Chain A
Amino acid sequence: MMSQGISRKVFLRRAAAGGAMLTAPGLLRAGAAFGSTAAKLPKTIVFSNWPLYIDVKKKTHPSILQFQKAHPGTTVRYLEDINDNDQFFGKIEGPLSQGQSTGRDLIVLTDSSGLPQRMIQLGWVEKWDKSAMPHVKNLIPAQQHPAWDPHRDYSLPWQSIMAGIGYDPHKVGYELDSVDKLLTDPKLKGKVTLLTQLSDTIGLVMLANGDDPAHVTKKTWDAAVARIKKAVQSGQIRQFTGNDYAPLLAKGDVWAAFAWSGDLVQLQVDHPGLKWVAPKTGAIFSTDNMLIPKGGNAYAASVLADWFYIPKIAAEVEDYVNYICPVTGADKILLKSDPAVAKNPLIFPPASLLAKLHQFDANAINNQKYKQDFQHLIGA
């Protein structure tokens, strides 16, 4: 009875899909029909993500609602319970180390925290079910083969982030595209914050030193740490922060900061005077990755992750989130629906900006000695 009903629905949708494939709504319906997924999906899929990291409309998430509509009988329990990579990892590490489920099917962690790599090494993540992921082909080429997961067997980008300099031009009084000036200009003394994210802060300073953050050596590490230490001791650096530099920058307590591009795009809505720039010596690029923690439903998580690689869905998410979109074709859809977002270089970076982006050495991130040095540097 049940299977009859489902196959009839699938049949009708597939019949409709032929004519509708070229239109966006048609694409959604086609996605729903793909591979009779409704028959295999569980009742609930649990997805943990960062706050304000998905489209929101009247306290709902349209992209999730559309997924549920396209996969009747399945509900996505969307949790915004990740505020910090390390803290969240601390929360799930206990059950994972005991071979227990975390109660989640999909989570999002940043590669520059070193945690996705570490979880793969420890065998704490499930492989994607690629047979259920027809849209993953839309992943932008630059993101297809990271060194720590060369075939994207375990991870998929959710959004990418650029770390550079965020500042208030009115307070600073000049175009601040130099890490040198940020760390030494007496005018900025006590008005500068750096990030608690090791890869971003050390990476930006390494670039300013003329060193390669993708290949960290003891010499380049020590040089970067010494430079930051000098700035801390002189009182130039006010604080090391997560993304809580944003309200300080908006209030004027902080004039310049190592900052993430997406935060500034969101801040600019209320504070159009604020600016984000890639330093002339280069910016650091990192990616938040979807992962299936061990014990999660790999098939269900794969179907849900794939959903966000449909360009129309990716465009809807991007229109709200404003970080860097990993899905090819989302910009073309946004050109029609919201050209300002589609043309924003911080969301769809042009080649000139992409050329300035560097990734941080994945091995250095998990080096215990470096981590200790950095924690001592930031005061804890």
Chain B
Amino acid sequence: MGKLLHRRAWVTPYALLTPGMAWLFVFFLFPMYYLGKMALSQGLFPLFSFGWAWGNFSYAVSTYSTQFVRSLEYAGIATAVALAISYPLAYWIAFRGGRWKNLFLLLVIAPFFVTYLIRTLAWETILSDNGVVVSVLKDVHILGSDGRLLATSAAVIAGITYNFLPFMVLPLYVSLEQIDHRLIEAASDLYASRPNSFLRVTLPLSLPGVFAGVLLTFIPAAGDFINAQLLGTPQQYMIGNVIESEFLSLRDYPTAAALSFVLMGSILVLVLVFARALGTDRLTAGTAA
């Protein structure tokens, strides 16, 4: 019996992998196959036919390059701002939160109990031309008398930052929380100043959290279209808005599919560059530590 089990032991990992692989096949690879096929199709709705139409990609990129660049730019700025806000917050919760840590974390994710759309619509009210924020900014002359926040790039970036902030805070908190405090004490014992011990001990050990947070924020932010739709104008529309309109309004499925592939490809390249710059080996080592 034991021998039989031993002989069949090689099956176990595959059996454990099967549900996940099946899930990926049905909900990722299968749709990707159809998306790829559609991206290389031609014709008018609803009679599309497959025909290796590589021109769809060049058309998509050349026609919508502005929205592509804008999406990456907005997502990049929002990710940087989210990191700047989240790191001190996560640090404070991890190191100073004490017995209130869970409460503070709950407060961070509390907005997630409200739907994405409602949260964004709330920003529409907060940034309203006649709202408190704009009035105060006008009073202190940061905004001109006819200035506004709503329907500007700033509003769209602020909306994206806000909506994805918990994706940055949580991985940062996890990596900071795992840091062995004795390492920081050791740095201090060895006469490292506070900034030095942060830069040489805390920051490197928290890099896996930074890496995860940046990916979790940047990737969905680049494909977002709700914030630009509700808080922006046509001048702020992102590639997500274009894909939505190509699919639903123009019903030009091949171009929409090609755009989706180009977006995925661009994000993949950026992520690989980012991972290489940060050094994945170091990150894995950091996680293991």
Contacts and interface: CB of A to CB of B under 8 A. Distances in A.
B248 A122 contact: no
B38 interface: no
B244 interface: yes
A247 to B, nearest CB: 8
B227 to A, nearest CB: 13
A112 to B, nearest CB: 13
A86 to B, nearest CB: 4
Interface residues of A, number: 28
Given A90-B247, A93-B46, A252-B130, A238 B242 contact: no
A239 B250 contact: no
B133 to A, nearest CB: 13
B148 A86 contact: no
A344 interface: no
Taking residues whose C-beta sits less than 8 angstroms from the other chain, chain B's interface range is 20 to 34
Contacts, number: 68
Contacts of A378: 234
A97 B128 contact: no
Interface string A250-262: 0111000000000
Interface in B119-165: 124-125, 128-130, 146, 148, 150-151
Given A239-B151, A380-B245, A253 B234 contact: no
A97 B151 CA distance: 38
Given A190-B151, A239-B234, A251 B248 contact: no
Given A368-B250, A371-B249, A380 B129 contact: no
A19 interface: no
B235 interface: yes
Given A86-B248, A380-B242, A253 B233 contact: no
B44 A253 contact: no
A144 B44 CA distance: 31
Contacts of B245: 375, 380
Contacts of A87: 248
A90 B246 CA distance: 11
A372 interface: yes
Contacts of A122: 46
Contacts of B260: none
B129 A253 contact: yes
A238 B249 contact: no
B247 to A, nearest CB: 7
A379 interface: yes
B237 A380 contact: yes
A87 B245 CA distance: 9
B250 A90 contact: no
Interface string A271-299: 00000000000000000000000000000
Contacts of A247: 124
A86 B46 CA distance: 14
Given A93-B46, A239-B234, A371-B250, A253 B128 contact: yes
Contacts of B44: 368
B241 interface: yes
A123 B236 CA distance: 39
Given A251-B125, A375-B250, 18 more contacts: A86-B249, A86-B251, A90-B247, A90-B248, A189-B146, A237-B234, A239-B151, A247-B124, A251-B128, A252-B129, A252-B130, A253-B130, A253-B150, A368-B44, A371-B249, A375-B245, A375-B249, A379-B236
24 contacts: A84-B248, A97-B46, A190-B148, A232-B235, A237-B234, A238-B151, A239-B232, A239-B234, A251-B125, A251-B130, A253-B129, A368-B44, A368-B252, A372-B250, A372-B252, A375-B245, A375-B246, A375-B249, A378-B234, A379-B234, A379-B235, A379-B237, A380-B237, A380-B249
Interface of B: 44, 46, 67, 124-125, 128-130, 146, 148, 150-151, 230, 232-237, 241-242, 244-252
